[in-house]
Amino acid sequence: MPGPLCSNELGEDWIDPGTLALTRHRPPVPHGINSCQDNPRALLTQQVLLSPALQETVQITDNLTAPMTWDSYWRLAYDRADKVLQAQANELLRRGNITRLEFDELVKARNRLVEEFRKPLSPFGKQYSEILKPASKLPQPGELLAKKGGVEAVLESVGKSRATVNRLSMVFRVAGPALLMLDITITTIVVMKAHPEGRGRVAAREYTGLGFGVAGGAAGAWAGCVTLAALGSPSLVVPVVGEAAEGTLCVVGGILGGLGVGWVGREAGKATGEAVYDFVTTFRWE
């Protein structure tokens, strides 16, 4: 005898088998969820709309942003150290007099900051920094005096960093962690939605691909930077077009290289992860 979905004509659910409006039934739920289950809302939380296009976009983009996010945090630390240096210079300016030794030590401290904070950067970050400010050509005290024309002019800018680089690093510092967490989340969802019997193989494929993708993105960003920057300066040290144009070419090349090589690295990582998993799970000692 026909009746409402999930009603039980043999049990106590039927108040009046001939009147649908008086028949007990479960609350309505989204289409595709089985309302006959004990907890349909729990099932609803398991329904994840994961578009393949979204997944690929996030994964490809994260290959690039992960290493650049690392550089952006070191840029933030460098910028704060610069502010401390500028505060020292401002104190000397307020005092009204400065010895030559104090001036020399302040400029040398600035150069040491540049060199030390450049060491932990990614290959792309080091190359980009070298293009904008070669370590072999950091200005010495006498050169700054000749260029700026006076002690006051040098001290007013000794702790200032490039605004354009700060803005670029801020973008990666904000977007990078969010995109990385989204990539890890999507990867985990793909693993958890796999069939239990093949979940280990899927986990090996996806997480190895994630690691290879980040490594490939770092290598590709450096290679792309070097390649395009060479168009602006054959030596990468003595700019022909100018450091601003050369730096822009480096960033563009880094983005393109990071995306491309990162994607290749991720695909290679997936294949490697599957191969290693198959070898480990099927290997038998004779």
pLDDT at 45: 43
Tell me the Ramachandran region of residue 6: left when phi exceeds 0, alpha when psi lies from -120 to 50, beta otherwise.
left
CA 226 to chain centre: 20
In sequence order, which residues have a C-beta less than 8 Å from that of residue 276 and are 6 or more positions away? Answer: 204, 208
Given a contact cutoff of 8 angstroms between Cβ atoms, the answer to whether 98 and 151 are in contact is yes
* Separation in Å, CA 110 to CA 97, 116, 205: 20, 10, 46
Given a contact cutoff of 8 angstroms between Cβ atoms, the answer to whether 159 and 84 are in contact is yes
* Separation in Å, CA 67 to CA 116, 119, 141, 216, 246: 19, 14, 34, 10, 21
Q: Where are the domains of the chain?
A: 52-167+179-282
pLDDT at 164: 81
pLDDT at 195: 87
* Separation in Å, CA 249 to CA 68, 72, 257: 16, 19, 12
How would you write the pLDDT of the chain (286 residues) with one tens digit per residue?
555 555 555 544 445 555 555 555 555 555 555 544 545 444 444 455 567 778 888 888 888 888 888 889 999 999 888 888 888 888 888 887 888 888 888 888 888 988 999 999 999 999 888 888 888 888 888 888 888 878 888 888 887 878 888 888 888 888 888 888 888 888 888 888 888 888 999 999 999 999 999 899 999 999 998 888 887 765 554 455 566 677 888 888 998 999 999 999 999 999 999 999 988 888 766 6
165-219 pLDDT per residue, tens: 888 888 888 888 888 888 888 888 888 888 888 899 999 999 999 999 989 999 9
